[in-house]
Structure 1
């Protein structure tokens, strides 16, 4: 199965999971007098829209290169990640605002059964996070990693709600707002997670050099190709789930242009075979001055 198909299937898994959990948390929060649980439902609802964006980004970013986009459409995935981060920030802001409003408004202590619901939700969301996160590593998807962190932030929000409701139930009257404070604290965790997602996506858009391990592997593979004397500059940039490489290749300075060209093509084919994540390699051939002399 191609990486894009794996990523899209995983996104559908997230989508339907978020829809089910958003409904469950919203209903339980309303009838159980827990704003922390309602806040959790708000975030899950935002997750639904964010996952739809991820799905769109994955489908668009896997389009083949065309006349207007000779390097492909992979950067769209990082742009969608920015939008996903925006959903996280918006949901955290709404949760923080509503939490403050509820702290200032007297209300009933949440029902005890909401703790059971939250415990189940925490477990489910952590499982979702692990599944989606592993798949994002397998397919090398930035936006899928962002979607995974949505599940983790959701689990954190639910954990905060669990702690807040437990305090309210244990301490009794006077502590009704404990779950609201928990929701407020959770909004801070969501903002922090948003930054963790945003930073790598920004680096991808700016072609930041963060792929030292791949550069080492490229040089190692290059040394196995006959005719390759050395490799000099090696720049790697990420576009969607694939990589684009610019490489300076050193060959014997006394051979013909045709021979140098053939070595470069052999190197490119070998790199793409040994490192399937590489979408394209631009090779600049340079003569070895020691061989010329």
Structure 2
């Protein structure tokens, strides 16, 4: 909210469209942060009769909304800024460039913190928010350089500000599309990363009685994982013994991988 106030004040006081564009994006940041916070609270709710798999996808939905909000707001402001080329243009004051530089430093700091947390939790919503902050930092830095250099660019000076604003918006649209694509794949239950799958396979293979892992599906839902695994056991053992091995596989995975929400184990007879 502080960044929104700074950018709006500077943009209106100096007449800088680029700084106002940056402020519009920061307003989107505030809204997306509230949405992500609410979604993470919903995602932690336990399963119920209507949601037997829990509410973890709320986190991914929030990431999707952030991406759409970033792209839509940036595209809309780019169109409005482009209309200014047909009117009278002026060179913003140096204050706009200084404010943009301060905002770039603050945004980069927020990005580094949020990105570190998103990696620790493997959260798509926080990852989307982090990259939104990074794009803001780049945008603010570009605006700062452009506005500080504008007074020394002669006849091109009046065009620097709206061109910087349009470039910022285009970059934000591309960022929004990239985040949307990444989060959409998660909502479509794409197979988890190779590192996660390989770890599940390795842990399962160490359980006493497991001869091999035949089929393995791991999907990410919010901050947690759901596993479907087919393990091979000796074909001559009893059903009760096979059932016991299956439970050992499930318990072992739940203990060794705390972010696994549930494991479905299917027993297959092992053939040489």
Aligned to 2:13: 31
Query: How far apart, CA to CA, are the structure 2 residues paired with 1:49 and 1:82?
Result: 13
Is residue 20 of structure 1 aligned with residue 2 of structure 2? yes
Alignment of 1:230-269 (within 5 A): 230-269=212-251
TM-score (norm 2): 0.95
Q: How many residues align?
A: 272
Query: How far apart, CA to CA, are the structure 2 residues paired with 1:59 and 1:243?
Result: 17
8 A Cα contact 2:213 2:229, kept in partner? yes
Q: Structure 1 residue aligned with 2:268, among 258, 278, 286?
A: 286
Query: How far apart, CA to CA, are the structure 1 residues paired with 2:196 and 2:216?
Result: 10
Is residue 119 of structure 1 aligned with residue 112 of structure 2? no
Query: How far apart, CA to CA, are the structure 2 residues paired with 1:33 and 1:173?
Result: 18
Query: How far apart, CA to CA, are the structure 2 residues paired with 1:240 and 1:27?
Result: 38
Query: How far apart, CA to CA, are the structure 1 residues paired with 2:4 and 2:85?
Result: 23
Q: Structure 2 residue aligned with 1:77, among 59, 75, 85?
A: 59
* Post-superposition offset of 1:161: 1.3
Q: Structure 1 residue aligned with 2:44, among 44, 62, 65?
A: 62
SS in 2 for 1:199: helix
Aligned to 2:166: 184
Query: How far apart, CA to CA, are the structure 1 residues paired with 2:142 and 2:271?
Result: 65
Aligned to 1:144: 126
Q: Which consecutive unaligned segments of at least 5 residues does structure 2 have?
A: none
SS in 2 for 1:175: helix
Query: How far apart, CA to CA, are the structure 2 residues paired with 1:87 and 1:43?
Result: 9
Q: Which consecutive unaligned segments of at least 5 residues does structure 1 have?
A: 1-18
Aligned to 1:194: 176
* Post-superposition offset of 1:238: 0.9
TM-score (norm 1): 0.89
Query: How far apart, CA to CA, are the structure 1 residues paired with 2:108 and 2:129?
Result: 13
Aligned to 2:146: 164
SS in 2 for 1:106: coil
TM superposition outliers: structure 1 runs of 4+ over 4 Å: none
Query: How far apart, CA to CA, are the structure 2 residues paired with 1:289 and 1:167?
Result: 73
Aligned to 2:73: 91
Query: Superposition RMSD on alpha carbons, in Å?
Result: 1.4
Query: How far apart, CA to CA, are the structure 2 residues paired with 1:108 and 1:194?
Result: 30
* Post-superposition offset of 1:145: 0.8
Aligned to 1:215: 197
* Post-superposition offset of 1:55: 1.4
Residues 85-135 of structure 1 show CA distances to partners (whole Å, capped at 9, x for unaligned) of 121122112220221123322243111122222111111111111111111
8 A Cα contact 2:71 2:177, kept in partner? no
8 A Cα contact 1:164 1:181, kept in partner? no
Query: How far apart, CA to CA, are the structure 1 residues paired with 2:226 and 2:95?
Result: 53
* Post-superposition offset of 1:242: 0.3
8 A Cα contact 1:109 1:173, kept in partner? no
8 A Cα contact 1:163 1:179, kept in partner? no
SS in 2 for 1:22: helix
8 A Cα contact 2:209 2:233, kept in partner? yes
